[in-house]
Structure 1
Amino acid sequence: MNKPLHQFFTEDHQRIDQLLDKATANPDQIELDYYHRFRTQLLRHIKMEEKILFSAARKADLAVAQNLIPRYRLEHGAITALMVSPPTPLLLGVIRHLLEIHDTAEEEPGGLYDVCEALTQGQTEELLAQLRATEEVPVHPQNPAPIAIESAIRALSRAGYDFYEIINSINLQNS
């Protein structure tokens, strides 16, 4: 089966992952130019899902969308909150961990993209045109204040994740 929306979003995940890889290629220094591009492109990706894909899915079948979309909205909120603080290796580890889980759930057979693809048949070309035309989200400078990471920790918790458990698992993997 041809799945152009699924392919579009999966390729965008790969492109965004490559930016994160480039930002973290040197373990001693985060490449801030690549991180900024990662940050703006990830937020653009979330905007495309929230404003275009979810909207189309809701119009096609409100009941299915109401059962499916809330999880992804909570995770998008957590990811967005993690983008506020300046990047550190630990924070980037948490972001990477969350993105691996989130992207897999979107891409897997029967996941978000398959469901949305089925719901929006007949609108594919129109949706792809809208997605391609989506502009970047303007971003503020990162906020180093403790409240920024505290807000991100709460957003992660609302999405069902424990910030400190993720950090502990990252530390175990690295030791």
Structure 2
Amino acid sequence: MNKPLHQFFTKDHQRIDKILNKALENADEINPKYYHQFRTQLLRHIKMEEKILFPAAKLVNLEVMQKLIPRYRLEHGALTALMVPPPDFNLIKVIKYLLQKHDFAEEETGGLYDVCEALTSNQTQEILDQLAETKEVPVHPTNSAPIALESAKRALIRAGYNYDEILQNAS
């Protein structure tokens, strides 16, 4: 079965992962140039889902999407909050953990992308055109104030994750 939206978003996940991996090529430090690219591209990806994909699918079947969207919105909020503090290797572990869980749930058979693809099958090209035109989200410099990390931790808790537990269980 041809799944152009699923393929588009899955390839975008892979592209964003590659940028993060470039930021981590040096085991001693995080490359700020590539980490900035990672931040802007991850936020652009979230914007594409929130502003284009979700609304298009909701127009077709509001009830189905109202059941699916809350989890992804909470995870998007947590990921967005994790983009605020300056990166360190613990923050990156948590980001990678959440992205792995989040991306899998979107990409798995019968997951979010399959549902949205089925609901919006009559508008695929229109949606792909809108996605291609999506601009980057402007970002502020990272914020080293303790409240930035504390806010991110609270956003993670709302999404069902615990920052410290993720670090304890990370290998």
Q: Deviations over 1:14-52 (max 9, x none)?
A: 000000000011110111100000000000000000000
Aligned to 2:86: 86
Q: Deviations over 1:37-78 (max 9, x none)?
A: 000000000000000000001101000000001100000000
Aligned to 2:73: 73
Shift of 1:169: 1.1
Aligned to 1:134: 134
Gaps of 5+ in 2: none
| Paired letter, 1:91 | L
| Paired letter, 1:84 | V
Q: Give the 3-state SS of the residue equivalent to 1:122 in structure 2.
A: helix
Aligned residues: 171
| Paired letter, 2:147 | I
Q: Deviations over 1:123-144 (max 9, x none)?
A: 0000000000000000001000
Q: What is the distance in 2 between the residues matched to 1:53 and 1:62?
A: 13
Structure-to-structure mapping, 1:103-114, within 5 angstroms? 103-114=103-114
| Paired letter, 1:79 | L
Q: Structure 1 runs of 4+ off > 4 angstroms?
A: none
Q: What is the distance in 2 between the residues matched to 1:60 and 1:27?
A: 47
Structure-to-structure mapping, 1:15-164, within 5 angstroms? 15-164=15-164
Gaps of 5+ in 1: none
Shift of 1:83: 0.1
Shift of 1:90: 0.6
Q: Give the 3-state SS of the residue equivalent to 2:70 in structure 1.
A: helix
Length-normalised TM-score, structure 2: 0.99
Q: Deviations over 1:106-156 (max 9, x none)?
A: 000000000000000110000000000000000001000000000000000
Q: What is the distance in 2 between the residues matched to 1:11 and 1:97?
A: 19
